[in-house]
Amino acid sequence: MIMKISDLDKELESKSLAGFWNVRVPLHHPEAPYLWKWEDVKDGLMKALDSIDIDMAERRVIRLVSPHVPVNSTSHTLQFTFSVVNAGEVARAHRHNMAAIRFVVQGKGAYTTVEGERFPMGEGDLILTPNWSWHDHFNGSAEPIIWLDGLDGPLIQSLNALFFEMLDKQAQSVTREEGASLRSFGFARPPEVCAEAGSAVPFRYGWKESYEALKAIPEKESDSYDGNLIRYINPIDGGFTLPTMSCELQLLKPGKKTKAHRHTSTSLYHVFQGRGSTVVGEGRLEWKKGDSFVIPLWQWHHHENLSAEEAVLFSINDRPIMEKLDLYREES
């Protein structure tokens, strides 16, 4: 006697099995972009500064959570958060196998110590914290400092591979001279210094040098889709900034309107200077200094700066992941 399909389904379910005839493989579905206003983020940070003791919370951080992403994050793979550290405070040392970047948006006079080396923090500076690196933060200035964190946490959590460890003291010992990483991995380095290609090292990209490189791009080399664009390259092999994320800086000159394109990488943006808009699909995101926004993968988009001042955008994307999985493609 032939078993009814419904009975077969019940029997399989009782044995923690399932017939594939009832399953439709979920295909890509477009997600909406989202924009966070700086005044909302800063208001939350200032209130947290008054209400949250850093010794209690360890980190005084606000996450950007897109209402269009089911994983309670900025995107499926990458996360934006903002950290604030008050004058004289230490955010204690820990490590995790999430890779992280710090992009300073307000303040100066603080330090991030990564694997025994102190990196000064000033507005526009980018500091890398490779995964499983000890790191702590100290604000030696008289004012709070705010920076943007970019992390690959959603990706690591989706793999059930997130690990975390606290150091047994508040701050790690400084064991390397300031600037040691630049001497070892900068554009001029000792010939015997080497590291495995594709890995990552703690590193600081100063704002002054980054901005000068951005401004130096001649008009004929300006990208049709992104304007003046530079990538913060991996100091070891010249590849993507980190194995799981690429960090980029772009300048949109007054009156600039880029061409539309789309790609299978997700991009998270922070507006460092100026104002403008980004058209994503049928919608338009109007942004100004301090705002942040996400462009989900495979969405047509272009940028516009119709103001009289230049606009500078900092961004991270997950293109390194998609390329490693042979899933990256773009269309224009």
- Per-residue tokens: 262: 């789309």
116: Cβ contacts below 8 Å, ≥ 6 apart? 134, 172, 173, 174, 175, 176
- Give the per-residue pLDDT at 194: 60
Given a cut of 60, is residue 325 above it in pLDDT? Answer: yes
CA distances from 20 to 9, 28, 324, 331 (A): 10, 19, 29, 33
Q: How do residues 87-137 score in pLDDT, each as one tens digit?
A: 999 999 999 999 999 999 999 999 999 999 999 999 999 999 999 999 999
Q: What is the dihedral of CA 114, 115, 119, 121, to 10 degrees?
A: 10
Q: Residue 109 in contact with residue 161, Cβ under 8 Å?
A: no
Handedness of CA 49, 55, 60, 66 (dihedral sign): negative
Q: How do residues 59-87 score in pLDDT, each as one tens digit?
A: 899 999 999 998 899 999 999 999 999 99
Given a cut of 70, is residue 324 above it in pLDDT? Answer: yes
Average of per-residue pLDDT across 152-166: 96
Write out the DSSP string of 133-188. --EEEEE-SSS-EEEEEEE-HHHHHHTT---EEE-SSSS----S-TTHHHHHHSSS
Q: How do residues 210-257 score in pLDDT, each as one tens digit?
A: 999 999 999 999 999 999 999 999 998 899 999 999 999 999 999 999
CATH superfamily name and code, 30-331: Jelly Rolls (2.60.120.10)
Rounded Cα distance between 245 and 56, Å, is 30
Average of per-residue pLDDT across 297-321: 97
Average of per-residue pLDDT across 315-327: 98
- Distance, C-alpha 115 to centroid of its chain: 20
- Give the per-residue pLDDT at 223: 94
Percent of all residues in the chain with a pLDDT value above 70, rounded to a whole number: 97
- pLDDT interval class at 149 (50, 70, 90): very high
Average of per-residue pLDDT across 310-332: 98
Q: How do residues 36-46 score in pLDDT, each as one tens digit?
A: 999 999 999 99
Given a cut of 60, is residue 319 above it in pLDDT? Answer: yes
Rounded Cα distance between 214 and 234, Å, is 17
